[in-house]
């Protein structure tokens, strides 16, 4: 049967349309992932548009076992559980009966990166529709076999039930054949009112192993005969190796091999601590040619580097007129700062390479590794495993590429590369430094009549896909060129993500000023430019509200037309008790709102802080959030993401900035790059969810980053009357402003 | 060979005496729960209990551990029969990526064994050495509170 697709077609329709076609075909053919033949047909929902065959997403075994495939990976955001809930609900099978297969270049659809809060929109929508359509096909087949009209049949618990107690199991219905059917544009979903799994706070499937010491992360992967490697890292990106003294490490216990390729140097040892010791010995003696790092005032440098400017929004631009208010905001380079430094495991044998990675895009990573090692992409197999939370493009892909390079130098031996903390802190691509400038005018009625906004930023994605975007690819003897830096276009945007306010202003102009030259290595950090743009816009909204002598919440509502936006604003204000708030000395409240990317989740946050005048320290009190992510699949998952986003954004905003001297990054560990610790987390944090059943999934992961930062700055201004426009709002800065 | 006692069992380990306990637990004994986070004593991902006290296993050479009782998250229960601390974290869904969580649980276990009824402020103070980048703090605080309740019921 190999290589031949045997077809058994069943025309079950009335009116001659093809309703169901089971195609028996070898797995490999289905796995090749037939891409859509793009005719004039309407777009299929979510990632089905790229992978329209139902068996790319769902397979049912002869024994009734259900396997669901997604090209997205679990990053600690709970996506595996949410997708499993969707599939269970629409297929009408028990939640626990589903096996989920996540991002894997040989098994799953290529859904690009797990990023941008897009997993629910892309994969969730695809699985929602695929599962509903598979269920309908199964019911149709059961109807044919039982001779009972489809509308008399009920799909439940993995079987189709007929009146009078007759039932046929799904396994029997498909008899082990693949559901090799092209998806339809429209699906018949189960009625929202009858849901039993979607919309419920189902417990995450990954947590039990994580709290009991199971193999939960790529860091825990232990292959037979696996050896340990460490990289001898140059002091900075772009440094060149002048001399190395391999002799110093060659005789050390356990050392198996020192690998050098240009400025890429690594040591492989039998045991992990042996590799660390040898790496340290080699590092101590290595001599590097280094270039200059940027000056301390990187903002001035950024503005001088030259930008490609584009007006991304204009409304009555000619009538902007004279501006009465103006402010400039700055955001430093910031870290992803994963708690578990990056790790990769690779095995090269018989001309084939397997790579286990916590990177966000296994397919683009495969392309980059294949290019770097000059291998055919189909001889490289990348498998996603969880790492510690990444929050964007961190060192994960780099560590995978390091492991791949070393595995090729040791055929037949699995190699595990674990980055050190200092390595992660100084080599991961940072969240870019940014500058924004906003000007506005108020009319007599206290409305914003004109708004002008400029944002300067590097790119927010240097993700691989190209070997030159991998750390190793830039270090090898014949280095690879990175992909040219490019802005991510609107409507999602990169540096200009959320630069266009959702508010209705009589006239407005928004200009994105993209800086191609990168003083430091940067890439995607949770929320991209939205974090900074929302910080700027929402801080300035409060400044304008004060100028208009208006309440900040009422002032926002004055300019908000979108009903769902108004709902989250009202909800957060109500939960906080905004109108009944009583201010005490040195305490204040702040509010902020954004719709992520202007097309994702709506999120509003109200927050109380206290400022300690003597030290400039900010103490965060109560926080109330309201979020609308569309159709809710797992309310607790949404809550968890918003809570985490708020606390992380507060940490960014209160403490975080990458620092450097002439030679190297100096914020190389948690001592020199402090983040929030327990005593400083909020007193309380409530999240209200506004559910929109049957509406599109909007995603949640990045919705809170922007609003949390501005709510904090607004609360500080309310508490002690100082407006902090530079991130971070650390005690030294707040104190200096208080003293001024 | 060095003998160390982990979760009530004595193991003979063939490793350099200066090797930090973390690597011995993870690689020689194949216990995954204890995590590498910084190797610098700054994050707490590697926290284990030694004679009931929370220590950074990344900073503790195995040569110092003769005759001492080491406990890791694997000693708190199993996936089939999770102990009260593990149950509390599952019930509160107190994890995002979860990488910091075993270290959090061990430090919290140490706290509850010396102070079975800590206040919220006590818990915040006790957990200060441990970092969480996902911002799961509010849930972790609730989970430790719940663990205290579960242990009380058991006692
Ligand atoms: S790994 Fe031991 S404190 Fe961070
Ligand atoms: S849950 Fe991810 S670091 Fe704490």
- Ligand 2: residue whose CA is nearest its atom 4: B132
Sign, CA dihedral A68-A70-A75-A79, equals negative
- Length reported for chain A: 740
Question: Taking CB atoms and an 8 Å cutoff, what residues of chain B touch A253?
Answer: 16
With H, G, I as helix, E, B as strand and everything else as coil, classify residue A576: helix
Which residues are registered as beta bridge partners of A594? A603
3-state secondary structure of B102: helix
Tell me the ligand closest to A670's alpha carbon. 1
Q: Å from A233 to nearest chain B CA?
A: 16
Select from A526, A537, A536 the least CA-distant residue to A645.
A526
Q: What's residue A14's pLDDT?
A: 26
> Which DSSP state fits B24?
I
Torsion on CA atoms B84, B85, B86, B88, rounded to nearest 10: 80
| Residue A158 confidence (pLDDT) above 60 | yes
Give residue for tokens 């037309």.
A561
Average pLDDT over residues A532-547: 98
The H or E element containing residue A128 is helix A125-146
pLDDT in tens, A98-150: 999 999 999 999 999 999 989 999 999 999 999 999 999 999 999 999 999 99
Q: Which CATH class is domain B2-75?
A: alpha beta
What's the first-to-final CA gap in chain B, in angstroms? Answer: 39
Q: Flag whether pLDDT at A528 surpasses 90.
A: yes
Contact A245, A265 (CB under 8 A): no
> With contacts defined as CB-CB under 8 Å, which chain A residues touch B124?
678-679, 681
Mutate to test the pocket of ligand 2, among A217, A337, A339 (most ligand atoms within 8 A of CB): A339
Ligand minimally distant from the alpha carbon of residue A391: 2
* Residues A405, A408, A413, A419, Cα dihedral to 10°: 0
In ligand 2, which atom is closest to the CA atom of B95?
1
Q: How far is A379 from chain B (nearest CA, A)?
A: 30
Q: Which domains does chain A have, with CATH numbers?
A: 5-200 (3.30.365.10), 218-290+337-427 (3.30.365.10), 434-460+495-739 (3.30.365.10)
In the 8-state DSSP scheme, what is residue A184? P
Interaxial angle between packed helices B84-91 and B101-114, expressed in degrees from 0 to 180 and rounded to the nearest 10: 130
DSSP-derived secondary structure letter, A626? E
Judge contact between A514 and A495, C-beta under 8 A: yes
- pLDDT digit string, tens, across residues A253-279: 999 999 999 999 999 999 999 999 999
**Tell me: the pLDDT tens digits for B74-114?**
999 999 999 999 999 999 999 999 999 999 999 999 999 99
In chain B, count H helices and then E strands. 5, 5
pLDDT digits (tens, 9 = 90+) for B49-76: 999 999 999 999 999 999 999 999 999 9
Answer yes or no: are the C-beta atoms of B103 and B47 closer than 8 Å: yes
Question: Do the beta carbons of residue A367 and residue A339 sit within 8 Å?
Answer: no
Sign for the pseudo-dihedral over CA of A710, A716, A718, A721: negative
| Residue at token pair 């417990």 | A203
Cα–Cα distance for residue pair A339/A391, rounded to 1 Å: 11
Task: List the single residue in B79, B100, B133 with the smallest CB-CB distance to A212.
Answer: B79
Bridge-based pairing state of the strands A66-69 and A98-101: parallel
- Sort out which chain A residues have CB atoms less than 8 A from B130's CB and list them: 678
C-alpha dihedral sign at B55, B58, B64, B66: positive
The two structure tokens encoding residue A600: 């994702």
Rounded Cα–Cα distance for residues A531 and A543 (Å): 18
DSSP, res B27: I
**What is the domain partition of chain B in residue ranges?**
2-75, 76-154
Could you say which of 3.90.79.10, 3.40.50.1170, 3.40.50.720, 1.10.150.120 is the CATH number of the domain covering B76-154? 1.10.150.120
Q: Which among A641, A630, A626 is positioned nearest to A711, based on CA atoms?
A: A626
DSSP symbol at A726: B
Q: Cα(B48)–Cα(B95) distance, rounded to whole angstroms? A: 19
Q: What is the pLDDT of residue B154?
A: 64
| % chain A with pLDDT above 90 | 91
**Do the Cβ atoms of A418 and A451 come closer than 8 Å?**
no
Please determine, for residue A434, whether its predicted confidence score (pLDDT) is greater than 50.
yes
pLDDT, chain A, mean: 93
Closest-CA residue in chain B for A650?
B135
Q: Mean pLDDT throughout B130-143?
A: 98
């Amino acid at each position: 049967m190999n290589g031949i697709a045997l077809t058994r077609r069943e025309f079950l329709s009335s009116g001659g349309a093809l309703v169901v076609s089971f195609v028996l075909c070898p797995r490999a053919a289905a796995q090749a992932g037939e891409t859509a033949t793009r005719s004039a047909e309407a777009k299929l929902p979510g990632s089905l548009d790229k992978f329209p065959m139902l068996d790319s997403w769902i397979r049912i075994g002869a024994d009734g076992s259900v396997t669901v495939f997604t090209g997205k990976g679990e990053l600690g955001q709970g996506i595996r559980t949410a997708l499993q809930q969707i599939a269970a609900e629409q297929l009408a099978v028990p939640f626990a009966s589903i096996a989920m297969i996540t991002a894997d270049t040989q098994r799953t659809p290529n859904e690009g990166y797990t990023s941008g809060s897009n997993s629910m929109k892309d994969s969730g929508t695809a699985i929602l529709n695929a599962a509903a359509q598979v269920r309908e096909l199964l019911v149709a087949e059961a109807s044919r076999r039982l001779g009972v009209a489809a509308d008399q049949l009920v799909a439940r618990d993995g079987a189709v039930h007929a009146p009078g107690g007759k039932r046929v199991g799904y396994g029997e219905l498909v008899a082990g054949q693949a559901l090799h059917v092209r998806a339809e544009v429209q699906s018949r979903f189960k009625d929202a009112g009858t849901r039993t799994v979607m919309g419920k706070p189902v417990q995450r499937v990954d947590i039990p192993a994580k709290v009991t010491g199971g193999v939960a992360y790529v860091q825990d992967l232990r292959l037979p005969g696996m050896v340990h490697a460490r990289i001898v890292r140059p002091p900075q990106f772009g440094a060149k190796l002048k001399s190395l003294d391999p002799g110093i490490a060659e005789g050390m216990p356990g050392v198996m091999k020192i690998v050098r390729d240009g400025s890429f140097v690594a040591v492989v040892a039998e045991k992990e601590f042996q590799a660390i010791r040898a790496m340290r010995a080699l590092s101590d003696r290595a001599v590097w040619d280094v270039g200059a790092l940027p000056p301390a005032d990187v903002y001035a440098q950024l503005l001088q580097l030259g930008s490609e400017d584009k007006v991304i929004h204009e409304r009555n631009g000619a009538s902007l007129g004279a501006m009465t208010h103006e402010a400039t905001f700055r955001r430093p380079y910031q870290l992803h700062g994963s708690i578990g430094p990056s790790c990769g495991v690779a095995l090269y044998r018989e001309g084939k390479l397997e790579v286990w990675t916590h990177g966000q895009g296994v397919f683009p990573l495969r392309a980059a590794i294949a290019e770097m090692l000059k291998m055919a992409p189909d001889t490289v197999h990348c498998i996603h495993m969880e790492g510690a939370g990444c929050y964007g493009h961190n060192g994960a892909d780099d560590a995978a590429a390091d492991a791949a390079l070393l595995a090729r130098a040791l055929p037949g031996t699995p190699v595990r590369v674990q980055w050190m903390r200092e390595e992660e802190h100084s080599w991961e691509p940072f969240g870019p430094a940014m500058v924004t400038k906003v000007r506005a005018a108020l009319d007599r009625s206290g409305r914003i009549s004109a708004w002008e906004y400029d944002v300067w930023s590097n790119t927010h994605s240097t993700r691989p896909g190209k070997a030159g975007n991998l750390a190793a690819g830039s270090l090898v003897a014949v280095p690879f060129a990175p992909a040219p830096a490019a802005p991510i276009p609107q409507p999602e945007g990169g540096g200009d993500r959320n630069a266009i306010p959702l508010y209705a202003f009589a006239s407005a102009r928004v200009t994105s000023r993209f800086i191609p030259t990168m003083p430091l290595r940067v890439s995607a950090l949770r929320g991209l430019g939205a974090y900074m743009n929302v910080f700027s816009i929402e801080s300035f909204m409060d400044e304008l509200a004060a100028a208009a002598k208006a309440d900040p919440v009422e002032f926002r509502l004055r300019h908000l037309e979108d009903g769902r936006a108004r709902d989250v604003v009202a909800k957060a204000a109500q939960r906080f008790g905004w109108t009944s708030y009583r201010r005490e000395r040195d305490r204040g409240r702040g509010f902020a709102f954004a719709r992520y990317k202007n097309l994702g989740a709506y999120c509003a946050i109200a927050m109380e802080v206290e400022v300690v005048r003597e030290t400039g320290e900010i103490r965060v009190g109560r926080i109330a959030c309201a979020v609308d992510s569309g159709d809710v699949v797992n309310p607790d998952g949404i809550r968890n993401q918003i809570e985490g986003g708020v606390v992380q954004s507060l940490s960014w905003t209160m403490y975080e900035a990458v620092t450097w001297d002439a030679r190297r990054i100096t914020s190389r560990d948690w001592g020199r790059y402090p983040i929030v610790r327990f005593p400083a987390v909020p007193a309380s944090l409530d999240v209200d969810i506004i559910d929109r059943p049957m509406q599109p999934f909007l995603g949640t992961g990045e919705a809170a980053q922007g609003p949390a930062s501005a709510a904090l700055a607004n609360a500080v201004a309310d508490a002690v009357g100082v407006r902090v426009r530079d991130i971070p709002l650390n005690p030294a800065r707040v104190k200096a402003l208080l003293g001024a | 060979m060095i003998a160390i006692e982990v979760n009530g069992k004595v193991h003979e380990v063939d490793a350099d005496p200066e090797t930090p306990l973390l690597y011995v637990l993870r690689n020689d004994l194949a216990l995954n729960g204890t995590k590498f986070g910084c190797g610098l004593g700054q994050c707490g991902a590697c926290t284990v209990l030694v004679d009931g006290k929370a220590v950074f296993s990344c900073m503790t050479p195995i040569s110092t551990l003769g005759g001492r009782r080491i406990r890791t998250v694997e000693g708190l229960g199993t996936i089939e029969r999770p102990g009260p601390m593990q149950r509390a974290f599952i019930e509160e869904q107190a994890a995002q990526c979860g990488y910091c969580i075993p270290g959090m649980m061990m430090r919290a276990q140490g706290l509850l064994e010396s102070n079975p009824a800590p206040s919220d402020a006590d818990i915040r103070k006790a957990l200060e050495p441990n970092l969480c980048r996902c911002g799961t703090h509010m849930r972790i605080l609730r989970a430790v509170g719940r663990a205290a309740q579960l242990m009380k019921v058991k006692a």
